[in-house]
């Protein structure tokens, strides 16, 4: 499924959801285990714990798969996605998302500049192949 997070949140709010519009430094939740999550009073929870779920839910099999995204400036005329091997491109309101990395077992949160270069170069090569031949 491909979606634009900004548009999805707008639709979510239009259907009656209330989303916080600012951070509240006085409200901090720390989750040590599943009982901390279940103690929340909210009727719905969006779980975005990522790798933190390993400790919270005691999931010893959870393995990281590091992926990286690169963004280009927004281009409203780009209204299509591309999928080519491991590469993908999706337009969003805040920019054009380029992706195509997955490193199984990688815990590092640091950007991998070589991976970014591979993604950008791969997309350039893909689009170069689509150009009409020079006559």
Q: Structure tokens of 105?
A: 């077992």
76 belongs to a structural domain: yes
Please tell me the distance from the alpha carbon of residue 69 to that of residue 85, in angstroms, as a whole number.
16
pLDDT of 23 reads 56
Please tell me the distance from the alpha carbon of residue 20 to that of residue 108, in angstroms, as a whole number.
30
- Asked whether the beta carbons of 102 and 112 are under 8 A apart, the reply is no
pLDDT of 16 reads 79
For the four alpha carbons of 109, 114, 116 and 122, in that order, the dihedral sign comes to negative
> Is 77 in the same domain as 117?
yes
Mean pLDDT of 82-93: 93
What confidence tier does 25 reach under pLDDT thresholds 50, 70, 90? low
Enclosing domain of residue 72: 65-130
- Asked whether the beta carbons of 129 and 85 are under 8 A apart, the reply is no
User: Distances in Å between the alpha carbon of 48 and those of 13, 67, 120?
Assistant: 19, 16, 27
Quick one: the chain helix, strand, coil %, rounded to 5? Answer: 30, 15, 55
Residue finishing a domain among 35, 62, 89: 62
| pTM of the entire predicted model | 0.69
pLDDT in tens, 56-81: 999 999 999 999 999 999 999 999 99
Higher-confidence residue: 17 or 90? 90
């Amino acid at each position: 499924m491909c979606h634009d997070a900004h548009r999805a949140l707008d639709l979510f709010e239009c259907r009656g959801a209330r989303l916080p519009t600012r951070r509240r430094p006085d409200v901090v939740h720390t989750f040590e285990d599943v009982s901390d999550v279940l103690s929340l009073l909210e009727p719905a929870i969006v779980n975005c714990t990522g790798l933190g779920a390993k400790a919270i839910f005691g999931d010893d099999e959870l393995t990281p798969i590091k992926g990286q995204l690169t963004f280009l400036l927004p281009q409203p005329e780009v209204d299509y996605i591309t999928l080519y091997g491991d590469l993908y491109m999706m337009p969003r309101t805040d920019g054009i998302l380029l992706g195509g990395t997955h490193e199984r077992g990688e815990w590092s949160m640091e950007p991998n500049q070589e991976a970014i270069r591979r993604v950008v170069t791969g997309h350039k090569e893909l689009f170069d192949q689509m150009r009409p031949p020079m006559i």
